[in-house]
Amino acid sequence: EDQVTQSPEALRLQEGESSSLNCSYTVSGLRGLFWYRQDPGKGPEFLFTLYSAGEEKEKERLKATLTKKESFLHITAPKPEDSATYLCAVHPLSGGYNKLIFGAGTRLAVHP
Residue ranges in contact with other proteins by CB under 8 A = 4, 31-32, 34, 36, 41-46, 49, 51, 87, 89, 91, 97-105
Cα 32 to Cα 79: distance, rounded to the nearest angstrom: 28
Q: How far is the CB of 104 from other proteins (least distance, A)?
A: 5
Cβ-based neighbours of 13, under 8 Å, separated by 6 or more? 19, 75, 78, 108, 109, 110, 111
**What phi and psi values does residue 13 have, to the nearest 5 degrees?**
-125, 150
**What phi and psi values does residue 94 have, to the nearest 5 degrees?**
-70, -15
Q: Which residue, 73 or 91, has its beta carbon nearer to other proteins?
A: 91
Q: Which residue, 12 or 42, has its beta carbon nearer to other proteins?
A: 42
Cα 112 to Cα 101: distance, rounded to the nearest angstrom: 34
Q: How far is the CB of 32 from other proteins (least distance, A)?
A: 3
Q: How far is the CB of 18 from other proteins (least distance, A)?
A: 26
Q: Which residue, 79 or 107, has its beta carbon nearer to other proteins?
A: 107
